[in-house]
Structure 1
Amino acid sequence: MKLSARNILAGKVTAVETGNVTTHVKIDIGGTVVTASITNEAAADLALKVGDEACAIIKASDVIVGKN
């Protein structure tokens, strides 16, 4: 797989929560969990399940920072 994105975080799927339209996929990337919201169709195509090795691939033009 070749991608133009530079932020590729490899880890293991810890949860796959399917809703009416979207599926939330949680990936543990070494103690930190990243949650992605993808379409149910994409989740089915990937056949994601807990324990699978997967990557969170982040491509964004903006990064927002907040502070309490």
Structure 2
Amino acid sequence: MKYRILSDEELQHLEGDLKAFLIINGVHGEEWAKLNQEDPQKAAGISGVVLRSGITNSVRKGPVSRTPHT
């Protein structure tokens, strides 16, 4: 595994990305709930794709500077 498993609190920050991904790919709330219940391993795989993408994008952006550039 390339990255550690995120805590529930950390996952909340990526919830919007997952919802956007599902909407773009035509997966609606009821379908997602059904998939989670009937095939949780597949749902976790889909979530993993979105999370890896979000984490990779965050890493590429690098740390956020809190001091203004002069």
TM range (shorter): 0.3 to 0.5
Structure with the bigger percentage of helix: 2
Q: Which one has a bigger Cα radius of gyration?
A: 2
Higher RCO structure, 1 or 2 (CA under 8 Å, sep 6+): 1
Structure with the bigger percentage of strand: 1
Query: What is the TM-score normalised by the length of structure 2?
Result: 0.32
Query: What is the TM-score normalised by the length of structure 1?
Result: 0.33
